[in-house]
Amino acid sequence: MEIVLSIMKNEGYDEIVPDPESAEIIFINTCAIRDNAEQKVWQRLNYFWFLKRQWKANVAAGRSRSLRPPKIAVLGCMAERLKEKILDSDKMVDVVCGPDAYRDLPRLLQEVDYGQKGINTLLSLEETMREKTHAHRNYVDDVPDDVKQRRLAELINTFRETTAKIYDSQVGTVQVVLVEGPNKRAPETEMIGKTDRGHRVSFVSVPVPHTFKGDEVRKPVVGDFIEVKITKSSTASLFGDVISRTSLSRFYKNHSSEAHAVAA
């Protein structure tokens, strides 16, 4: 787990909470050679799934400090062996990650929010034939492991390149952003939110006016819609400067008018 903790620390997750109720991400590290390993994994998954469903109640009762329901990630060699069963288990798990894919954890966890909102599960391992299927019963898996790893690396690189192009194209534009909370990298000065396309945006929290005249100048708070001028991008995030607080109807009305003016 030291590798995983180091990777997550570099992403701004610098606190290990003493109880799972307050965790934003719950990692279950598995080992296939331990006695009753599979049974223990399912017991822990059931318990953590219960915590996930009880998140709002735990926050209301003061038992949780997390801003959102915890993400559950299953790691290790057992994750590879049970991946199909885990991902079929009523959306119990958000991420399944084998021991060779730990460095990709930050992207996988972000994709739970962005690209997989409906399914909310991601598989980071190389392709294998699913049990109890026609392919599993009638064909031999003769693809070498090194080929599978190469294909996986190509897929990840293609995804990153495509995402980078999409994010780069938004630099210089003004986006409407729903404020979600403080940025873990700099919680005292920065906040994060999502655009109407689900893209993560980081910005410095400063007092700004509302687009409707007469409203007081203040810092954005969770639940506000704000206009953000995008200044730079990475493969997983956008960064920008806050222009003003706004509403969805006012933002779309203003920018629709600008679009017609440009077209004319």
Burial of 190: CB neighbours in 10 Å, binned 0-12, 13-18, 19+: middle
Phi, psi for 156 (deg, rounded to 5): -65, -45
Burial of 53: CB neighbours in 10 Å, binned 0-12, 13-18, 19+: exposed
pLDDT at 260: 36
User: Mean pLDDT for the chain?
Assistant: 78
**Residues 91-136 pLDDT 10s:** 678 888 877 777 778 777 877 765 443 233 345 565 555 566 676 6
DSSP character string of 43-110: HHHHHHHHHHHTHHHHHHTTS---SSPPEEEEEEHHHHHTHHHHHTSTT--SEEE-GGGGGGHHHHHH
Distance separating alpha carbons of residues 28 and 74, to the nearest angstrom: 5
Spell out the domain ranges in the chain: 1-120, 169-255
Mean pLDDT of 73-83: 76
Inform me whether the pLDDT recorded for 47 exceeds 90. Answer: no
Give the rounded percent of residues in the chain with a pLDDT score beyond 90. Answer: 17
Inform me whether the pLDDT recorded for 151 exceeds 50. Answer: yes
Say if CB 109 and CB 131 are below 8 A apart. Answer: no
**Residues 177-203 pLDDT 10s:** 999 888 877 788 999 998 988 888 999
CATH number of 1-120: 3.40.50.12160
pLDDT at 242: 96
**Residue 73: pLDDT band with limits 50, 70, 90:** confident
Give the rounded percent of residues in the chain with a pLDDT score beyond 70. Answer: 81
Secondary structure of residue 194 in the 3-state scheme = strand
pTM check: above 0.85: no
- What superfamily would CATH give domain 169-255? Nucleic acid-binding proteins (2.40.50.140)
Q: 10 Å Cβ neighbour count for 219?
A: 14
Residue with structure tokens 């620390």? 9
pLDDT at 218: 92
**Residues 210-262 pLDDT 10s:** 887 666 899 999 999 999 999 998 877 899 999 999 988 888 888 764 433 33
pLDDT at 121: 38
Say if CB 54 and CB 97 are below 8 A apart. Answer: no
